[in-house]
Amino acid sequence: MLTSQMIKEAAYAAGADKCGIAPISRLAGAPDEMNPKFLFPEAKSVIGFVFRIPRGVQRGIEEGTQFYQYPSMAYGGINEILAPAVLYQVGKVIEDEGYEAFTYRNTGARSAMSDMDGSYGKTLSPEEQIEVNEHAKNATAHHRSVRFTRPSREGNVPPDLQFQFRLCAVACGLGEIGWSKMLLTPEFGPLQRVAFLFTDAELEYDEMYHGEPLCRKCGACVRECPGGCIPPINGGAKVTVNLDGKICEWGDIDMWRCYAFYTHAGRYYNPFVPKEVFDANENGSLNLMEVPGTEANEQEIMKVYTALAKYFPSWVGYNMAKCGGCIRACVSMLEKKGGCMEGRFEQPLRTKKAWKLDR
């Protein structure tokens, strides 16, 4: 008989760092376009897997000397190699017992709704659009949403369905969402990625996390975001979701603004772009980064990506995340001031003042 213990043992043996299981009913309140019930209507359980991000892959960014390890190891490596391998192995255990295993890795695929702003229709993926403009002029441009998708039968939602990974992780009892919208876990703070598996097997379920709040509402992520994308803790705009009775709350982040800053970081945090480029701000293409009050939208983001594309150090399939601001700030604070990262490492992540380019 298939048990939760069998599933967790298989997950840990294959390389997952944490595994939690929830009844699919915990996600019943999700909007249709993001509700996993449409993925697999007979599913009774959702299994969530946590894959830790080694703190050391942030070291190069913390020192300002190596920016490649984080996107390649902690985005690409986990999403493309480690997580699919674990899903595959656990899926075999489930299917050997006669139940179906609908695996759901982090694909970065697009749905009818933009994952940036929740709108329907076309929203651009600037870095992919540049590729299309330069190398594949007759190909379909890439977007944050798919425009022409239609329900495949009456009562369905249009493909491809994407659900809210972080809320699903909370439902599986894996952690809570912090003010910065990152998933925080008691074991790894903000340092992990997740993947999921849906099955028609009924299992024993984990409770949702109900210990001390994992987010200390300290505001370190707000202060250290190079783009000012995260609203202030007190009085800032927030998002509140009732997840089967558990109230989840986070800052209403300016996602388009983050799209520009997490990749390109701006004048003070991007050592790959000469100061003169920011000073010249040709055709106002860097207004979003240089002129306070400029609204972040697709057009402004496209200008930034186009202007700075040639300074991109290296493509690794995933955007070169240069800021790392909210994650490193959170780790550093939770280690030093008490929180879920306390006592894990002999030395703190941050041993000196955070760097900032003098220009």
Which of 90, 229, 289, 349 touches ligand SF4 (CB under 6 A)? 229
Q: How far from 272 is each of 265, 320, 326, CA to CA, in Å? A: 10, 11, 20
CB of 262 to ligand SF4, least distance (A): 4
Q: Which stretch binds ligand SF4 (CB under 6 A): 166-174, 195-203, 325-333, 342-350?
A: 325-333
325 binds ligand SF4 (CB under 6 A): yes
Which of 94, 113, 330, 349 touches ligand SF4 (CB under 6 A)? 330
- Near ligand SF4 in 128-157, by CB under 6 A: none
Sketch the per residue contact string, 178 through 217, with ligand SF4: x for CB under 6 A, - otherwise: xxx----------------------------------xxx
CB of 250 to ligand SF4, least distance (A): 8
CB of 225 to ligand SF4, least distance (A): 3
CB of 218 to ligand SF4, least distance (A): 4
What pairing do the DSSP bridges indicate for beta strands 183-184 and 176-177?
antiparallel
CB of 79 to ligand SF4, least distance (A): 17
Interface with ligand SF4: number of residues (CB under 6 A): 25
> Closest Cα to residue 34, out of 123, 145, 121, 162?
162
94 Cβ partners below 8 Å, 6+ apart? Answer: 2, 7, 100, 101, 197, 199, 201
Q: Which stretch binds ligand SF4 (CB under 6 A): 45-53, 71-79, 256-264, 348-356?
A: 256-264
Q: For residues 14 and 253, which CB has a smaller minimum distance to ligand SF4 in the complex?
A: 253
Task: Specify burial of residue 269 (Cβ count, 10 A radius: 0-12, 13-18, 19+).
Answer: buried
Q: For residues 86 and 323, which CB has a smaller minimum distance to ligand SF4 in the complex?
A: 323
Q: How far apart are CA 335 and CA 327, in angstroms?
A: 12
Amino acid at 109: A
Which of 34, 101, 124, 220 touches ligand SF4 (CB under 6 A)? 220
Q: For residues 106 and 180, which CB has a smaller minimum distance to ligand SF4 in the complex?
A: 180
CB of 70 to ligand SF4, least distance (A): 11
225 binds ligand SF4 (CB under 6 A): yes
DSSP string, 87-140: HHHHHHHHHHTT--EEEE------BSB-TTT--BS--B-HHHHHHHHHH-TTSP
3-state SS, residue 30: coil
22 Cβ partners below 8 Å, 6+ apart? Answer: 45, 46, 48, 171, 172, 173, 205, 206, 208
219 binds ligand SF4 (CB under 6 A): yes
329 binds ligand SF4 (CB under 6 A): yes
Report H helices in the chain: 4-14, 59-63, 69, 83-96, 126-135, 165-171, 220-224, 255-264, 275-280, 287-290, 298-308, 325-336
End-to-end C-alpha distance for the chain, whole angstroms: 64
Q: Which stretch binds ligand SF4 (CB under 6 A): 2-10, 77-85, 257-265, 307-315?
A: 257-265
99 binds ligand SF4 (CB under 6 A): no
Sketch the per residue contact string, 305 through 324, with ligand SF4: x for CB under 6 A, - otherwise: ------------------x-
Rg (CA), the chain: 21
Angle at 322 between CA 317 and CA 324, to 5 degrees: 110
Q: For residues 93 and 296, which CB has a smaller minimum distance to ligand SF4 in the complex?
A: 296
Site residues for ligand SF4 per CB under 6 A: 178-180, 215-221, 225-227, 229-230, 253, 258, 261-262, 323, 325-326, 329-330, 333
